[in-house]
Chain A
Amino acid sequence: MCSALHLICNETFFAIPIDSLVEVIDQVDIDPIPTMSLDIKGVFYYRGKIVPLIDLRYKLFQSKELSQSARVVILQHKGFFTALYVDQIRMIVEYDRLRRAENIDETIEKYIDGVFQENNLDYFLLNIDRLVGI
């Protein structure tokens, strides 16, 4: 069985492998970096490092709507801290089998490993490598 954090983005269920998860925080003060691609909301200072914040909604759905329950998920992957700005955080879910996602948007397909089912709900498992671009 594998564990993943359930998060919601644009009313779609996603999950990220628990191994990379460092912390979930409510909000951070973001400093923008002009001229960067729009899916990078900016950077912030975290545990002595400058961390980029990926706007997951923009990256996957090209949408910039704001959510009241938005959270910042901090990941540590291959030695770098990276943060994801997501609409909502739920709970830890467990899965044992991934299947190939079918009939989904090309952009989403690019950033996921596959889909798993839990309590009759489908979750897209995000691929951190591709998301962070390392």
Chain B
Amino acid sequence: MNKTDQTLDKFLNNAQEVISEILAKEAKVDENIVNDVSTLMFLYHQVKELLSYCDEYESLRTILKNLYNSFDRFTMMDEELVPKDVQAFLQNLRALFAGLRYIIEQKEYFEFFCVTGEQTFKKIQGVYDLTFELLCSQSNSEDFYDFIEEANQLLEELNDSSIDELDLDYVFRVIHTIKGTSSFLDELHDTIHHLCHEFESYIAFVIEKSIVKIDQADESCIRRLLMVLRIILTNLKSRLDQQNSFNESVDLIKILTGLQNLIHGESISADELYQVEELSVSVDHNIRVSALYMDQLSGGMEAFQIKLGQFRKQLESDLYLFEEFQKLQNSFFSLQSRILDLRLFAIEPVFKRFARQIEEYSKTINKSVAFQLSGLETKIDRKLSEVLIAPLTHIVRNAISHGIEDSDERVFIGKEAQGNIGLSARSNGKNVVIEISDDGRGIDLDIVKQQAIQSKLVEKDSNINDQDLYNLLFTPGFSTSEVLTEVSGRGVGLDSVKVDVERIGGKVELSSVLGEGTTFRLVLPLTITSVDCLLFEVNQFVFTIPMGNILAVYDYEQYNEKVLDQTKFRYRSKVLRLIDLGKLLFNKGVEAKGSHVLILEGLNNLMIAVIVSKIVSKDNLLLRPIDHPLLKDIKIASSMSILKTGRVATVLDVSSLDKKASSIELNKDRKNV
């Protein structure tokens, strides 16, 4: 044994003694340890003592020095800490020493450690610092939870994409983003920022030197560091899940030991890797599943459903087999429904993120706004929440900028100085309804009308109703920015809100009272993937419309007497526009025999009647957004769906049908003139 090894061995033996002392003291004083100043002082000096063994090892010295300094802070903060935090702290301390011991015991890795030790040790120190800082952190656990969720998601995506090849630029961007998103954390900010900064600098260094190809050792080191970061985050999340206390079953020492293995081992066996991953996963009671896998699962179910549909036809002639088939189909539907449920999660994190944004945004524009959240337990599709963020941000930011008046103005008109914005969610089993309301200026419809006349969207003497005026605000390019009302600024971009919401089969409604405030109501499908739809034929081709848009269906005998001069339809006390979908879509009217009229409701109470060739069936369909660039110009559809037969049905959009019919009539009128 050389001198270096002897010194380290001595150091570790002493460290082990300190741990034993800690355990002994801990057992004696139990929960009163916080007040046991002498115990703390003892630990304090023991660590100080250990420092003297580390002269030749700058890294060890640094980490112990920090530990020693932490005790300083620990003793100063005792009033704020609760006993369980102390226990957790001590557990961390033991883990730290165990980690140090492991490094020395693994002699074959020791040289590797000496070469890259400085940097690696910073990471270990990061593990320690992070957990300690978290113990000291008394607030913002929700922010932190969100941060971890986001960071973990980024790391998982990175992990999925870098199985074969590591894209250094991508890794750099991910770490940079995590560093950036940590900026809203308070006490933890510096530590995480520091950790990511170190990592980022290292990647930048590797990028710079790897002009042609990344060195295998560097790649291996980066992969290990990514793993370390994931484990750190998972650990911290588990701590939050368990209300800032360690679960006895969580063997942090094992995790840390595995971590050392990852950091220092040139290679790690699949079993070992599985063990570490399993340990880091076992600390979380919820299993995280990548959205990609969920999509693949839904896609697989869909393909299965199509196959079942095809089999059904073939089996209809055999009574026995058909019965068995129906049993199989029922089991499939129940499985499918469970899988669809897996996609749902509480809307709370989405709303809370907005609450934070609002707080920050209102501060930057010097407005005082209180935010009320309700219906946080309402469940929505995870994908729906992703699509929702852009329209919600748009509406909420505009409400603060243009809806809510300045405090002085509010007081002057007799309102509370602080403005209010409410964000609520509820579900009726079929839809999720999200309302964003403010108690600001409201919308002055006279000004909207004037602007519409100026923009030649309406005739000067036209008798346009309030709802139609609100609809104008969703028209692309419509803006009342010259007028100082709530509408100012809202005109621009409201069309994008409408497009975003309609693409997922939802609708937007707007209501406002001048001087009292405005409410936006987003009516969304419970999940993007499943909506009850009516399938019908138009000139032998199948189309569909969600049942939520259909108010009534009349067959030929019923509807014939309600038709007025071929273009209008009497429905209850109203006269609606009647559109022959055959003429509109294929330039050839549908045959009267077997045809039906559907009464459809679109955005903002728009109602139209359409003639279709034949009703096919009612079905629960998975709606797919139209994302292919070649199809983005479809004017009549909000989405598409794959039918059980494997055919594709276009999901017609009520407002677009009405608009298309108007433009055809307009062209006809122009020709006649």
A43 to B650, CA, bound (A): 10
B646 touches A31 (CB 8 A): no
> Contact: A45 with B642, CB < 8 Å?
yes
Residues in B neighbouring A40, C-beta threshold 8 A: 630-631
Contact of A34 among B303, B586, B624, B649 (CB under 8 A): B586
B583: min CB distance to chain A, Å = 11
Assembled-state Cα–Cα distance A34/B586 (Å): 7
Q: Is B565 an interface residue (CB 8 A)?
A: no
- Within the assembled complex, what's the spacing in Å between the Cα atoms of A52 and B650? 12
Q: How far is the CA of A51 from the CA of B21 in the complex (A)?
A: 70
Q: Tell me the complex Cα distance, A28–B10, Å.
A: 77
Q: Which residues of A (33-57) have their CB < 8 Å from a CB of B?
A: 33-37, 40, 43-45, 48, 50-52, 54
Please give, as numbers and ranges, the residues of chain A lying within 8 Å of B660 by CB-CB distance: 35
Judged by a CB distance under 8 angstroms, whether B164 is at the interface is no
Task: Write the nearest CB–CB distance from B308 to chain A, whole angstroms.
Answer: 15
Residues of B within 8 A of A36 (CB): 631, 633-634
Option from A32, A44, A48, A133 in Cβ contact (under 8 Å) with B303: A48
Q: Are A50 and B647 in contact (CB under 8 A)?
A: no
Residue-by-residue, is B619-646 near A (CB-CB < 8 Å gives 1, otherwise 0)?
Answer: 0000010101111011111001010001
Q: How far is the CB of A27 from chain B (nearest CB, A)?
A: 14
Which chain B residues lie closer than 8 Å to A48 at the CB level?
Answer: 299, 302-303
Interface assignment of A29: CB less than 8 Å from any CB of chain B: yes
Residues of B within 8 A of A32 (CB): 541
Q: Are the CB atoms of A33 and B650 closer together than 8 Å? A: yes
- B624–A50 contact, CB under 8 A? yes
- Please encode chain A, from 17 to 32, with 1 for each CB lying within 8 Å of some chain B CB and 0 for all others: 0000000000001011
Could you say which of B585, B626, B629, B650 contacts A31, with CB atoms under 8 Å apart? B650
In which size bucket is the chain A interface? 20 to 34
Pick the contact of B649: A29, A31, A35, A82 (CB < 8 A). Answer: A31
Minimum C-beta distance from A111 to chain B (A):
14
Q: Are B634 and A82 in contact (CB under 8 A)?
A: no
Q: Is the CB of B630 within 8 A of A133?
A: yes
In the complex, are the beta carbons of B647 and A54 less than 8 A apart?
A: no
Closest A-chain residue to B585, C-beta based? A34
Cβ-defined contact, A34 with B646, below 8 A: no
Cα distance, A32 to B637, chains bound together (Å): 12
Q: Of the candidates B541, B633, B647, which one forms a contact with A45 in the assembled complex, judged by CB atoms under 8 Å apart? A: B647
How many Å lie between the Cα of A51 and that of B648 in the bound state? 10
A104 close to B (CB within 8 Å): no
B303 to chain A: closest residue by CB = A48
Chain A residues within 8 Å of B647, by CB: 29, 31, 45
CB 8 Å contact bits of B541-552 with A (1 = contact, 0 = none):
110000000000
Most B CB atoms within 10 A — which of A29, A31, A37, A44?
A31
Contact with B along A117-134 (1 / 0, CB 8 A): 000000000000000111
Residues from chain A with a CB closer than 8 A to the CB of B649 are: 31
Partner of A35, one of B306, B629, B636, B642: B636
Q: Mark B586-618, 1 if CB is under 8 A from A, else 0.
A: 100000000000000000000000000000000
Residue of B nearest to A80 (CB): B628
CB contacts (< 8 Å) of B624 on chain A: these are 50
Contact with B along A55-93 (1 / 0, CB 8 A): 000000000000000000000000010100000000000
CA of A106 to CA of B565, assembled, Å: 48
Chain A nearest Cβ from B88, distance in angstroms? 46
B634 touches A134 (CB 8 A): no
Chain B contacts for A31, CB-based, 8 A: 541-542, 647-650
**Distance in angstroms between the alpha carbons of A31 and B648 in the assembled complex:** 6
Option from A50, A132, A133 in Cβ contact (under 8 Å) with B648: A50
Q: For window 6-48 of chain B, which residues contact chain A by CB distance below 8 Å?
A: none
Cα distance A82–B628 when bound, in Å?
9
CB distance from B536 to the nearest CB of A (A): 14
Alpha-carbon distance A36/B303, docked complex (angstroms): 27
Q: Which residues of B contact A54 (CB under 8 A)?
A: 630
- Is the beta-carbon distance between B629 and A33 smaller than 8 angstroms? no
**CA–CA, A43 and B576, complex, Å:** 32
Q: Which residues of A contact B646 (CB under 8 A)?
A: 29, 45
Is the beta-carbon distance between B640 and A35 smaller than 8 angstroms? no
Chain B residues within an 8 Å CB radius of A132: 629-630
Contact at B586–A133, with CB atoms within 8 Å?
A: no
Do the beta carbons of A35 and B635 come within 8 Å of each other?
Answer: yes
A residues touching B (Cβ–Cβ < 8 Å)? 29, 31-37, 40, 43-45, 48, 50-52, 54, 80, 82, 132-134
| 9 intermolecular pairs with C-beta atoms under 8 Å apart | A31-B542, A33-B650, A35-B660, A40-B631, A52-B628, A80-B628, A80-B629, A82-B628, A133-B629
CB-CB nearest 10 A-B residue pairs: A34-B585, A31-B648, A52-B630, A48-B299, A43-B648, A134-B629, A45-B642, A35-B635, A50-B640, A45-B646
Query: Known pairs A50-B626, A133-B630. 9 more at Cβ < 8 A?
Result: A31-B542, A32-B541, A34-B584, A35-B585, A35-B635, A40-B630, A52-B628, A54-B630, A80-B629
